[in-house]
Amino acid sequence: MLTFTLTDTFLSHMEQAVFSDGLHKADVDEAVWNIYPCWFKGASRWTRPLVLRAFEKDQLVAAAILLECRRGGQSLFRSPFLYKPTNWMGTPVLIWLRAGFGPEVAANPGFFAADVDPQEIAAQLVDYLSRTSLALFITDLRKNAAYHTKARAFPYVDEGMIDVSGMKEVQEYIDEHRNIKRKIKSFTNKGGTIETHRSKIDEPTQQSLVKCCAATMNKSFVHTPFQDAFLDVIQHTLNCDSSSFVHLIAKMKGEIIGYHSFVETGPTLRMMHGAFNREMKTTYHAYDNLIIKATGHAIKQGLKKVYFGPIMNETKRRMMRESEPCFTYFYSRNPFIRMVFSFMYSYSNLQTKKLLAFSSTRKKSKLK
């Protein structure tokens, strides 16, 4: 019989050590502990990270990082006549991004002690949250649907990956794509370069990268429920003095135009966030070139796979070698909220045809 706590206190070093063997079984390592503290440094008035802990006979056996958001109206609606009343309600919405490690500096499938069954314990974590939460959204891989039989399931975009195991050089990946050579040439002919930085980024560069994030957010058709705090969280990752963090920075004639930030953990490279200067008319295929650079970095480091997180544009979709279907699962202990939120979400910005064009779980007949 498990007992649970939900607090805003991050895992101590002793608690992290409980999950070391479990991390290795999940193809990551202790480098992931550099990711999540950035949220605990960047929390805002309306968004804060939480840690769900599970105990068996007073022994810690599992944990998960969640986000609590109270101003997520703009993630659902563009009209202020709709999102302002939603924000005014201030309903605490819990979000658990279970698809992988690292995206949005928050994604985690949970952490498990070596001597427990992760699938069994994960199901109990989900059950506890579903019974105690006013509003709970869990983004999870379709293969984990058995955890969510009591939820309302909504389609979500796929997760993208590039398997580089067996590759000796990045040219092998380039040769798989018909138009890549042209895009590389276009980028380099316009003065495009990509720099690789590890560990902490200097202050002027941090500011330029955060500006790229702000420009991308302003142009994006997706507004996350935790967007009010995300720029601060991003800056904490750029300021993190960890050699496991890899920042690939694209420049055009010396000026920063975009970047991707990853964590190198276990035999994998996992994206945390990235952005471009969307105020430019074109970045001359900087996006494609950053994906190629990340793939080449993984090959040189002897890694097995690069995880790029949610697929939300055609460029990423085309360049992935693999993808995993995902759903967003909604729970509420309150029948009224369960009915209202399910209806609102069905017709929200997160269920539009434009977004779900990148979803393998979409139902075409219900797309707007």
pLDDT, one tens digit per residue, over 93-114 is 999 999 999 999 999 999 999 9
Task: List, by residue range, all CATH 3.40.630.30 domains of the chain.
Answer: 2-158+325-366, 160-322
Q: How far apart are CA 65 and CA 113, in angstroms?
A: 15
Mean pLDDT for the chain? 93
User: What are the phi and psi torsion angles at 162 (to 5°)?
Assistant: -125, 115
The answer, yes or no, to whether residue 132 has pLDDT greater than 90, is: yes
Share of the chain above pLDDT 70, in %: 98
Cα–Cα–Cα angle for 306, 36, 1, nearest 5°?
Answer: 105
Contact assessment for residue 182 and residue 245, using Cβ atoms and an 8 Å cutoff:
no
Contact assessment for residue 73 and residue 84, using Cβ atoms and an 8 Å cutoff:
yes
Give the pLDDT confidence score for residue 367 in this predicted structure. Answer: 38
- pLDDT tens digits, one per residue of 279-322: 888 899 999 999 999 999 999 999 999 999 999 999 999 999 99
Q: How far apart are CA 320 and CA 281, in angstroms?
A: 25
Average pLDDT over residues 349-363: 91
**160-322 fold:** Aminopeptidase (3.40.630)
Give the pLDDT confidence score for residue 14 in this predicted structure. Answer: 98
- pLDDT tens digits, one per residue of 192-229: 999 999 989 999 999 999 999 998 988 888 889 999 99
Give the pLDDT confidence score for residue 280 in this predicted structure. Answer: 85
Q: Where are the beta strands (DSSP E) in the chain?
A: 2-7, 47-56, 59-69, 93-97, 111-112, 135-141, 152-163, 192-198, 245-252, 255-265, 268-276, 305-310, 322-331
Give the pLDDT confidence score for residue 366 in this predicted structure. Answer: 43
The answer, yes or no, to whether residue 88 has pLDDT greater than 90, is: no
Right CATH for 2-158+325-366 from 3.40.630.30, 3.90.1150.10, 3.40.50.1370, 3.40.50.2000: 3.40.630.30
The answer, yes or no, to whether residue 46 has pLDDT greater than 50, is: yes
Q: How far apart are CA 28 and CA 304, in angstroms?
A: 11
Q: How far apart are CA 307 and CA 310, in angstroms?
A: 9
Average pLDDT over residues 124-142: 97
Give the pLDDT confidence score for residue 365 in this predicted structure. Answer: 35
Give the pLDDT confidence score for residue 261 in this predicted structure. Answer: 98
Average pLDDT over residues 240-266: 96
CA-based nearest residue to 230, from 106, 75, 139, 100:
106
Give the pLDDT confidence score for residue 172 in this predicted structure. Answer: 97
Q: How far apart are CA 321 and CA 326, in angstroms?
A: 17
Tell me how crowded residue 79 is: count the other CB atoms within 10 A of its CB: 9
Q: Which two tokens stand for residue 111?
A: 């952490």
